[in-house]
Amino acid sequence: MSIEKEKNFVSAVVYVRNNARTLQAFLDHVYSEMDRLFNEFELICVNDASKDASEEIIREFAREKDHAVTLINMGYAQGTELGMNAGEDIAIGDFVYEFDLAAQTWPSDMIEKLYRKMQEGYDIISACPEGKGRFTSRLFYGIFNRYSNINAKLRTEAFRLTSRRAINRVTAMNHVQMYKKAANANSGLKQTFLTFSEIKAEKADYKSQKERSALAMNSLLLFTDIGYKIAFVMSIVMLIFAAIVGIYTVIVFATGHPVEGWTPIMIFLAIGFFVLFAILTFVIKYLSLILNLNFRRQRYIVQDVEKL
């Protein structure tokens, strides 16, 4: 059944990293859905230094297409977040689809469903698989949602659709985002998610898993206070322990028969460790404030950008 195409200009940014096995089918699906729904759109493929045939597949795919296909070759492998930043920076659409995995794991109508939902006044909509997901994902999001100051609850996403207003708002907050999902949630704009029954899952390679683990740890440190709380509690515990050792030393000196020279050494160590951990407690707090005031800004390096 034919539908009247939308007038809004829409961009689709696809992150590509050694996805030759699924890339052709993925691009065919995204392009056909965009062509069915929109009069004007662009497809931006960010090739993050792939070592397989991903770049050749993108070039071959673009040869007979009517709408713009842009290829961004990153200078070296820089990860999903910076790659998506590079693609989003040159996207000109009123709305931008963000695909950070070039493998279709959702039903074919999800792209349209997100756009229709966006027309209800939302600025950010995510497509999320049903179910609890992997244990590591549940653990990460459980900790993140508990200890972050972000009102929206994060969960596993397959892809998302953002408005130009949301992109401008998030960019104004910090030009290069370390963790876009958290930055979007922290933008204060209206957002929601749609769920779907997952079709299949593309297994990440070893490097992708390492990248995701590193991103998870960095995100917990940047967007939550769990690191500060753990360090603070440990410092307090050591302060108490040092105080107990000092009190015990005085009691032994007053009631027992300590070895000569033992008492002053133990008192010196107790006082020294007490002062050390007291200072560390304040240092940890100051470092936490500095981290919040000087948010980590990473820049990406692009090798070339081509309109295919």
**pLDDT tens column, 123-154:** 999 999 987 677 778 888 888 888 887 777 88
| Per-residue confidence (pLDDT) for residue 71, from 0 to 100 | 96
199 and 266 part of one domain: no
How far apart CA 62 and CA 71 sit, in angstroms, is 9
Most confident range (mean pLDDT) of 44-48, 127-131, 243-247 is 44-48
Mean pLDDT, all residues of the chain: 82
Q: How many domains does the chain have?
A: 2
In a domain, 306, yes or no: no
Low-confidence winner among 23-37, 52-66, 166-180 (lowest mean pLDDT): 166-180
36 and 134 part of one domain: yes
Q: Which residue has the higher pLDDT, 168 or 151?
A: 168
How far apart CA 306 and CA 69 sit, in angstroms, is 9
Q: Which residue has the higher pLDDT, 5 or 223?
A: 5
220 and 255 part of one domain: no
Q: Which domain holds residue 133?
A: 10-224
42 and 76 part of one domain: yes
216 and 247 part of one domain: no
| Per-residue confidence (pLDDT) for residue 58, from 0 to 100 | 95
60 and 132 part of one domain: yes
Q: Name the domain boundary from 205, 224, 243.
A: 224
- For tokens 């009517």, the residue is 66
Q: Name the domain boundary from 197, 224, 251.
A: 224
246 and 210 part of one domain: no
In a domain, 2, yes or no: no
| Per-residue confidence (pLDDT) for residue 206, from 0 to 100 | 47
Q: Name the domain boundary from 204, 224, 244.
A: 224
Percent of the chain with pLDDT over 70: 78
78 and 200 part of one domain: yes
How far apart CA 79 and CA 102 sit, in angstroms, is 14
In a domain, 3, yes or no: no
190 and 234 part of one domain: no
pLDDT in tens, 57-115: 999 999 888 888 999 999 888 888 889 989 999 999 999 999 998 998 899 999 999 99
How far apart CA 286 and CA 289 sit, in angstroms, is 5
Model confidence pTM above 0.85? no
The band of 40, judged by pLDDT with boundaries at 50, 70 and 90, is very high
Helix/strand/coil for 10: strand
220 and 284 part of one domain: no
